[in-house]
Structure formats: structure tokens, C-alpha cells
Amino acid sequence: MQKFILVTAKILISGALLYLALRGVNVAAILARMNQINPLWIAAAVMVTLLQIVLGAVRWRLITGPCGAPLTITQALRFNLIGSFFNQTLPSSIGGDAVRLWLLSRTGAGWRAATYSVLVDRAIGLIALAVIIVASLPWSWRLIGDARGRAALTLVDFAALAAGLGFLVFGQIRWNFLATWLPTRHIHACAVLANRVVFDRERGPLIAILSLMVHVLTVVIAWAVVRSIAAPADFAQVFLLIPPIVLITMLPISIAGWGVREATMMMAFGYAGLPQADGLVVSLLYGAVSFLVGAFGGLVWVASAEKAAKGSATMELPQEEIGSGATAP
């Protein structure tokens, strides 16, 4: 019942935000943009999205080894594609992570190692995103003339960076109770693993480069969508606007980010002096590209051995295993 209420609430939030985003826009301007969509740019956006999934799979594979759940590159890519499908169907923009850890656990890695690898992968991606946003703040302030927009952007950026760096610092603390006390032991174990991965001389630099490239490709996808409707936004503007939007869209309060992304994109375009209707169209097309790639991931899921075996296995995390004396690796 609680899960049903949560899902229903997220559906309502997505619907409400989409309604608010669509209510005040110029429908004629939106239809005009839609009528001039260049399918070649949309195809390019789809291809870049697939490349992004490949790079994400390479990064995740580098992380799974130190977490005690090693994957082959083929497995990592397949699981990431399936995760992209569930990102579009589960009630959040990160629902695919739960499916990824379930798939990884079925390889024999165990729930704990699988969960740690996915959480560390997500944390490193968040830290890289926060670094990009904070590093670009001087140019973002020039682009955004509104004082409230600047303040909101700065608050969100530094909150994300503080959370990411705080997570790494937490992993450096060696107090024994952190590794044994139930409320902290799993978070501490993940933080320790994140430090081990980030500061590894061989893996660390490659993981950092891959993380930055993944986020840059998000900008490239949005740029291809912008070009598909010939919107008056150059690459530099897209580079400054998209990462904060991605950060906000990661909040698990809607279905696949729908509604949150549209409202945030319109607001960001408006602050940058760009047509809000263009921001809405770009957001809708970006979501459509993600949906198309997710549909391909759905085909991978339907053809997978895990789908065939799903009927005899549960996708719910066995709490007794996760909570049975886990300590920092």
C-alpha cells in the first residue's frame, strides 16, 4: 500500500508539473518548433546517448572490481542498457540503479557488493557533475542576469558539491563505531570504497575522465536536440544550462524526471534570456530521445536470461543479508 501511494504521488507530481509547464506557454510557438524538427539531429542525439551508456558501462566495470563484484564489459553494457529501460518505467530518474544492482547480484556477487558498486558509481557521477557546475559558475553568473536565479543556482551547486566531498571525507574517518553502527556502517563502507576507487593511481584518473565525458555527452545530446529545432541557443549556453538541470532532475520525485525536467528547463531558458517555449520543446525531445534508447534497452531486457528467470526470483533486497554485520571493506 505504501509503495502504491508513493508511485501515485510521483505520477501526480509529474502530471502537475507538466500541466504547470504547458499552461502558460505559447502553443503556436511550440507547434512551429515541432514542425521543423530535423530527424538527423534526433538520430545523432540517440547515437550519442548510446555512446554515453557505453562510457558509463566502462566506468561501472572499473568500479565493480574494488567493490568485490567484478563484471565483464559485455555484462556492464547489457545491464546499463536494461537500466536505461527501467529509468523510463520506474517512478524516478534513477530507478534503473535498483535493476542494475539486482542484475549484478544475480552474477554471484551478492546483494551487498552489488549495492555498494551501484551506489559508488552513482556517487562518483554526482561528484563529477557538481565539479563541472561549480567550475562553470563564473560564466553561468554572466549568462543568468536574474539575482534569484543566480542565488538558486549557487545554492544547488554548492550543496551538491558539499554532499559529494562530504561523502569522500566521511570515508576517510576511521572511527570503529562508524563501521559497526547500523545507521552508518553501509554508508561508511560505500564511502571507503569510493575513496579507494577515486584515489587509485591506475583506475582513478580513468574513472574521473569517463565521469566528465559522460556529463559532457549529456550536453552534446541536449545540443543536438537544440539544433534539431534550430533554437537560438549556442553550445556554450547549453553547456552552462544543462548540468544544473540534470542535477535537479535526479531528485526522485517524479516519473523518469518528467515534469521536473520541463519546469526546470523552461525556468533555466528564461533566466538565460532564451524563449521558454524552446526550453519546453528541448526538454520534451530530450525525454523522447531517452525513451527511444530506453525502448532499445527494453528489447535487451526481454531477450535476456534474467527476464526469463525473473518469475522464480525476487527483485526485493533481502534486508537480512545486507544488514548482517557488513563492515568497511
Question: What's the pLDDT band for 324 if we cut at 50, 70, 90?
Answer: very low
End-to-end CA distance of the chain: 36
| Residues 79 and 64 sit within 8 Å (Cβ to Cβ) | no
- Return the amino acid letter for 328: A
| Residues 55 and 212 sit within 8 Å (Cβ to Cβ) | no
Q: What is the pLDDT of residue 17?
A: 54
Distance between CA 328 and CA 164 in Å, rounded?
18
Q: What are 152-201's pLDDT values in tens digits?
A: 888 888 888 899 899 999 999 988 888 888 888 889 999 999 999 999 99
Distance between CA 10 and CA 13 in Å, rounded?
5
- Dmax of the chain from CA atoms? 63
- Nine-digit cell string for 231: 533554437
Residue 20 has pLDDT above 50, yes or no: yes
DSSP symbol at 128:
H
Domain around 121: 2-322
Asked whether residue 328 is domain-assigned, the answer is no
Question: What's the pLDDT band for 240 if we cut at 50, 70, 90?
Answer: very high
**How far out from the chain centre does Cα 90 lie?**
13
| Burial of 49 per CB tally in 10 Å (0-12, 13-18, 19+) | buried
Instruction: Output Rg (C-alpha) for the chain, integer angstroms.
Output: 20
**How far out from the chain centre does Cα 242 lie?**
12
Higher pLDDT, 174 or 28: 174
Q: What is the pLDDT of residue 142?
A: 87
Question: What's the pLDDT band for 19 if we cut at 50, 70, 90?
Answer: low
Torsion of CA 61, 64, 70, 73, to 10 degrees: -10
Highest-confidence segment of 150-159, 192-201, 243-252, 262-271:
192-201
| Residues 239 and 137 sit within 8 Å (Cβ to Cβ) | no
Residue 317 has pLDDT above 50, yes or no: no
Considering its fold, how many domains does the chain have in total? 1
Helix (H) or strand (E) holding 247: helix 235-249
Once rounded to an integer, what is the mean pLDDT over residues 131-155? 87
Asked whether residue 327 is domain-assigned, the answer is no
- Nine-digit cell string for 201: 593511481
Region of residue 137 (phi > 0: left; psi between -120 and 50: alpha; otherwise: beta): alpha
Asked whether residue 107 is domain-assigned, the answer is yes
Higher pLDDT, 32 or 281: 281
Residue 319 has pLDDT above 80, yes or no: no
Q: What are 85-100's pLDDT values in tens digits?
A: 988 766 555 568 888 9
Q: What percent of the chain has pLDDT over 70?
A: 80
Residue 325 has pLDDT above 70, yes or no: no
- Nine-digit cell string for 110: 551478492
Q: What is the pLDDT of residue 166?
A: 92
Once rounded to an integer, what is the mean pLDDT over residues 49-64? 96
Question: What's the pLDDT band for 2 if we cut at 50, 70, 90?
Answer: low
Q: What is the pLDDT of residue 314?
A: 46
45 phi and psi angles, rounded to 5 deg: -65, -40
Q: What are 99-123's pLDDT values in tens digits?
A: 898 899 888 888 889 999 999 999 9
Asked whether residue 33 is domain-assigned, the answer is yes
Residue 6 has pLDDT above 80, yes or no: no
